[in-house]
A and B are shown apart, each in its own frame.
Chain A
Amino acid sequence: MLDNIIEIHGKKVVLLEHAITNNLLPDPSLADVWVINHNDPKLVKRFLYKIIRSEDIRINLKPIFLQKELKKVYSLSSDLLKSLSDGYIKWLNFIDKIPYIETINNFIEKNQYKYDDFDKTSDEFYTFKILNYYYTRKKNIVPNINRKSLTGYSYTRIEAFFENKNDAYTKSRMLLREAFLGGSLARNYVDTSHLCKNCHSGFLNFREVCPKCTNHNLKVRNLIHHFRCAYVGIDKDFVLKDKLACPKCSSELKNLGVDYDKPGKIFLCKNKKCNHEFQDAPVGVHCVDCKTEQSPDELIVKKIYAYELTNLGYQQVIEQ
């Protein structure tokens, strides 16, 4: 069953519903603009991935819009879907997007045969797809903060080329880096992130650990210094019913700062075999994804950049 094609503002628009349900790509020549008309964000995402991974320039560069009316239904996925498409339109009104659509479609028409020369699995082909897309969209390649991505930042549309999560991370970065080194892209610093040494995950749990047994079930206690008799111990030493009484001189500790102060902390390791007491607790890092334990200085430090096409990049797209 084919989806309806309607004409709006002199453009042929296909409202995609069955295609999404069945995950089938429609014929790109039938319409100028594709509009998602499906309310299941999972299926929409699957469909958009299929478009992005397509080796047909007429499909992977096709202007494709989401409908604002469905944004609420997409809820948490709405931003992700936006970054995989050309954004939201309201009431099928895209009159202000017409020049945008025309530029893209002209580009597709001019270049539709140029894909044939490429080895579709080569890095050059991926780079070519990236440059073409961001050229036609006149956008920069900006990393999105994304809780669901491996590292916390994602280049969503580039990572979408790859099915495997690890490939998506490593290959997308590699492609961008190569393009930067080759001069097609320029980059601007955005952020620095710390990643698991084993799986590059950014979902890490930091906590103090016992320097002897690396157990992280610790109890922290305050030190108390009783001025009068110079006794120093932990809070527990002093507690007598609901008062503080000094274990050395038996007098009561009344006022903080006058009778006593708290000059530091002591950790107690709650591992019964260890029970080590110490002040300087090293921090241990636990990777939520691959469960690797590591110390903070073992983490991989990566800088996150936003990229934009350089003049050389433009030239490469035009002369390709």
Chain B
Amino acid sequence: MMELWEKYFYLWHILDWKDIIKWGWYIFILDIPRFFVIEGITLYWSRSERKKTKDLWDKAREDLFDEMPLVTVLVPGHNEGKHLFKLVQSMNRQTYTNLELVVVDDGSTDDTAIIASSFEKSGLIDVFLSAAVRGGKASAANLGLRYSKGKYVVHLDADSSLESDAIEKILIPFYRYENVGGVGGNLVVRNGEESLTTMMQFLEYLQTISVSRIVLSKLKIYKIISGAFGAFPRHVLNRVGGWDIGPGLDGDITVKIRKIDYRILFEEEAICRTHAPVTWKALTKQRLRWSRSLIRFRLRKHNDIWQPNKNFKIINFLSFFENVFFSLVLDLLWFFYMFKILITDPSFMLIWFPFKYTIYLFMTLGQYSFVFFVNKDKKYLFSKIIYIPLYPLYMGYYMRIVRTISYIDEFFFYDSYKDVWNPLKTSKKAKEHGM
């Protein structure tokens, strides 16, 4: 053990900074500035401004409760009957009470319809709609939208559970700012203790959602309101024609709203506890699906955002650019340098790997310290620091590899259109029309 540490310290003495810069320049001029410096500064800026304008936030809350508009909670789902009782309970606990709970069953093959219609009869669900034939999540959401009445529509996954003030908090930004076309809620993994997989996701969500989305929202380039928990004004949803076919319909509708010049905001205090995949296999499947939408929607369907002569807006362009650059381009760059080192100077890996790991570990610790500004459960956060050493491996290797495979799949093979997540009949049409 001591020997290992000695070797490790020796490594730092023999480092040739020229080599380091040659192989890892992007770490110092892209990763650290983007994920640590800019994020830290913007987070501080956002949080302190929020404190300074506390009276405006209080006023917005007052305005909301003075008006007390009807709010639709829209829950489309396929075979989600087992989660409905908890969902109903979490609705009943809400501090905002003028709610209309609309559950849409998308051709479920289990007892969902029986459970939901009995809840509707007893008044626990306000509207239950059922499509006898499965049509995909977008069609279920659109059906719910067609038959709901609320001024605002909160889209929710059946298996997420809301903090009791979550609906109130997600509505306040509509009264705090003008021209808001959607507000994304903050997602926290609720089953972090279930397995190592879920614990890593717990840490990931803290960084990539709780912190990162505050930053993106402040910089006005926030571009995905998660389907798990987001709120929209009805008239905006109607203008964009509701949801289009997924997978990735949540990111897609956010872009559609951005395109018609509405602001998209993130609300860190509106907390939704979501259920994360428990096994690596399930997680991999989920991420393969999620990542494909970068190619399908950002590069293909919404390609007009990139074209100066079309529907071009600099802020939407930057939002896409940030997303594509830091996910796709940097991934490819990472693989390029990885292979280059392996081919030209394999022994350098013995220095390179420990070095890079050390850098990213410190950056992760730095990022984790940001989380303490946002998440209130500090004691729990402290107890999870022991998992931080795994995080650079999880994000840097596992996630990167899964993501890149997914990009390649979608780019060359259009795999998202083969995904059984959607019925084939709709995927076929979506592909035909480039949706």
Contacts and interface: CB of A to CB of B under 8 A. Distances in A.
Interface of A: 211, 223, 225, 227-233, 248-249, 257-259, 261, 263-264, 266, 277-280
> Which of A249, A258, A264 is the most central at the interface, judged by chain B CB atoms within 10 Å of its CB?
A264
Contacts of B432: 228
A232 B426 contact: no
B278 interface: no
26 contacts: A223-B131, A223-B143, A225-B131, A225-B143, A227-B135, A227-B428, A227-B429, A228-B429, A228-B430, A228-B433, A229-B241, A229-B244, A230-B139, A230-B142, A230-B426, A231-B242, A232-B139, A232-B146, A263-B107, A263-B131, A263-B133, A263-B135, A263-B139, A266-B147, A279-B129, A280-B128
A278 B128 CA distance: 8
Contacts of A230: 135-136, 138-139, 142, 242-245, 426
B146 A249 contact: no
Contacts of B245: 229-230
Given A227-B426, A263-B107, A264-B131, A248 B139 contact: no
Interface in B397-429: 425-426, 428-429
Contacts of B425: 227, 257-258, 261
A136 to B, nearest CB: 56
A257 to B, nearest CB: 8
B241 A225 contact: no
Contacts of B430: 227-228
Given A259-B429, A261-B425, A231 B131 contact: no
A280 B103 CA distance: 13
B120 interface: yes
A58 B233 CA distance: 88
Given A261-B133, A279-B129, A225 B147 contact: no
Contacts of A232: 131, 135, 139-140, 142-143, 146
Contacts of A277: 147
A225 B135 contact: yes
A261 B428 CA distance: 14
Given A230-B135, A230-B139, A261-B425, A280 B107 contact: no
Contacts of B242: 230-231, 248
Given A227-B428, A280-B117, 9 more contacts: A225-B131, A228-B429, A230-B135, A230-B139, A232-B142, A261-B133, A263-B135, A278-B127, A280-B128
Contacts of B426: 227-228, 230
Nearest to A246: B241
B197 interface: no
Given A227-B426, A279-B130, A248 B241 contact: yes
Contacts of A264: 129-133
Nearest to A282: B121
Contacts of B241: 229, 231, 248-249
Contact of B120 (A223, A229, A280): A280
B351 interface: no
B435 interface: yes
> Which of B117, B133, B428 is the most central at the interface, judged by chain A CB atoms within 10 Å of its CB?
B133
A22 to B, nearest CB: 62
Interface in B110-159: 117, 120-121, 127-133, 135-136, 138-140, 142-143, 146-147
Contacts of B243: 230
Contacts of B142: 230-232
Nearest to A278: B127
B338 to A, nearest CB: 40
B429 A279 contact: no
Interface of B: 107, 117, 120-121, 127-133, 135-136, 138-140, 142-143, 146-147, 241-245, 425-426, 428-430, 432-433, 435
B418 to A, nearest CB: 16
A230 B245 CA distance: 6
Nearest to B423: A227
Nearest to B147: A277
B229 to A, nearest CB: 21
A257 B423 CA distance: 12
Nearest to A259: B429
> Which of A257, A261, A263 is the most central at the interface, judged by chain B CB atoms within 10 Å of its CB?
A263
A51 B244 CA distance: 79
Nearest to A280: B117
> Which of A232, A233, A258 is the most central at the interface, judged by chain B CB atoms within 10 Å of its CB?
A232
A98 B27 CA distance: 117
Contacts of B120: 280
A225 B117 contact: no
A225 B139 contact: yes
Contacts of B117: 280
Contacts of A227: 135, 425-426, 428-430
A237 B416 CA distance: 30
Contacts of B428: 227
A249 B430 CA distance: 12
A120 B429 CA distance: 83
Contacts of A233: 146
> Which of A229, A248, A277 is the most central at the interface, judged by chain B CB atoms within 10 Å of its CB?
A229
Nearest to B136: A230
A280 B119 CA distance: 12
Contacts of A248: 241-242
> Which of A249, A277, A278, A279 is the most central at the interface, judged by chain B CB atoms within 10 Å of its CB?
A279
A145 to B, nearest CB: 35
Nearest to A265: B132
A211 B142 CA distance: 23
A268 to B, nearest CB: 11
B183 to A, nearest CB: 23
Nearest to B138: A230
Contacts of A225: 131, 133, 135, 139, 143
A258 B429 CA distance: 8
B50 to A, nearest CB: 37
A280 B107 CA distance: 15
B423 to A, nearest CB: 8
A62 to B, nearest CB: 59
A220 to B, nearest CB: 14
